[in-house]
Structure 1
Amino acid sequence: MVNALQQMMRHRLDEQGWSYGDVARRGEIPRSTVHHLATSERLVRMPQPATLEGLARGLNLPLDAVRRAAAESCGIYLYADGASETAPDPEVATLIASLQQLSPADRRHVAALVESLLKRVAESG
């Protein structure tokens, strides 16, 4: 079964006549990374932001499209906020996508940390 990222990559490679090496050079990421992302049936975890940025450059596609395809390939579905005119912060999108992969206990720890940080911001503001 082909996942969303594989499908996107295969289409772009076929369309442009590029190899994994071409994409790797254009995106300044290892060829092995491009190969892994193009051939892994299901990604175990969300690729690092720098990897996604390099892949987007290498494929000459918008970062948001590559990020969404990668997230979907991990079993995570990101939904666009139609009200937002600005591009989402890549760190926020990665955090949100990564949280779904944590155990319930780890998610509770992250939630407690976020609440503590927000409380500190509110008290200092």
Structure 2
Amino acid sequence: MSMRARVRTDATGNITVHMEGGMDFENIVPLQQELSTLTKNHPTSLITIDLTSLDFVGSSGINIFVDTVKFLNNKKDQIRLSNVSSEFMKVFKLYNFDAMSLIHDEFDTDDTEFSKFFGQKRTFQN
């Protein structure tokens, strides 16, 4: 199974890695190296790994992926995950990986930011 990763940088310098296909032992090592290079070359950028189009994760691939993200975030809290399916969340739990702390919601704003633009706090009604 093949995996493809498209790397995009936004106007603020933050990086999104869009994952497609399947993650297994054969293709996880190049991803591991690319993530290490990205964190080294862009130390102030937030790196988000978008798992929307990832449809398979092998046990050896997920183990290396989890270890890589843990190691890179241990140095500097720089990597986030987005669009993580419930199936992958279950797999992450098997590897004692707290993916919830890394999930990035691009539409999440705090109430102070919301009220600055709209003059009110977010409620269920608005």
Fold match by TM threshold 0.5: no
Which structure's relative contact order is higher, taking Cα pairs within 8 Å and 6+ residues apart?
1
| Structure (1/2) with the larger strand percentage | 2
